[in-house]
A = this chain, B = another copy of it.
Amino acid sequence: MRASLLAPLLALSMLAGCATPALRGTGDLGVVIERATGSVQILDTTHRSSLAKVEGLGDLSHASISYARDERYAYVFGRDGGLTKVDILRQRIERRIIQGGNSIGGAISPDGTLVAVANYEPGGVKVFDANDLSLVADIPAVGANGKRSKVVGLVDAPGHRFVFSLYDAGEIWVADMHDPKQPVLHKFVDIGEEPYDGMITSDGRYYAAGLFGEDGVALLDLWNLDAGVKRALVEFGRHGEKLPVYKMPHLEGWAATGNQVVLPAVGQHEVIIADQNTWKEIARIPVAGQAVFAVARPDGRQVWINFAFPDNDTVQVLDLPSRSIVKTLKPGKGVLHLEFSPRGEQVWLSVRDENRIEIYDPDSFARIGTLPAESPSGIFFTSRAHRIGL
Contacts and interface: CB of A to CB of B under 8 A. Distances in A.
Nearest to A18: B18
B23 A90 contact: yes
Contacts of A6: 9
A112 interface: yes
Interface string A13-47: 11001100101111110000000000000000110
A257 B203 contact: yes
Given A112-B46, A363-B160, A387-B343, A23 B298 contact: no
Interface stretch (A141-149, A166-174, A351-359, A378-386): A378-386
Residue picked from A24, A89, A298, A299, most chain B C-beta under 10 Å: A299
A386 B386 contact: yes
Contacts of A343: 69, 110-111, 156, 158, 386-388
How many copies of this chain does one complex carry?
A: 2
Interface in A47-97: 67-73, 89-90
A10 interface: yes
Contacts of A14: 13, 18
A223 B297 CA distance: 14
A5 B13 CA distance: 14
A18 B12 CA distance: 12
A386 B383 contact: yes
A25 B301 contact: no
Given A9-B6, A258-B259, A259-B259, A299 B363 contact: no
Given A9-B10, A70-B28, A112-B46, A277 B299 contact: no
Contact of A342 (B68, B159, B259, B386): B386
A109 B32 CA distance: 26
A45 B385 CA distance: 13
A47 to B, nearest CB: 10
A300 interface: yes
Among A10, A224, A386, the most chain B Cβ lie within 10 Å of the Cβ of A386
A344 interface: yes
A183 interface: no
A345 interface: yes
A269 interface: no
B388 A344 contact: yes
Given A13-B10, A46-B69, A70-B28, A387 B342 contact: yes
A321 interface: yes
Interface of A: 2, 5-6, 9-10, 13-14, 17-18, 21, 23-28, 45-46, 67-73, 89-90, 110-112, 156, 158-160, 203-205, 223-224, 257-259, 276-277, 298-301, 321, 341-346, 363, 382-383, 385-388
Query: Which 7 interchain pairs have the tightest Cβ spacing?
Result: A25-B72, A27-B71, A342-B386, A25-B70, A258-B258, A18-B18, A110-B343
23 contacts: A6-B9, A9-B10, A9-B13, A25-B70, A27-B68, A27-B72, A27-B385, A27-B386, A28-B70, A46-B112, A69-B343, A111-B343, A156-B343, A158-B301, A158-B344, A160-B363, A203-B301, A204-B298, A205-B300, A205-B301, A258-B276, A299-B388, A342-B386
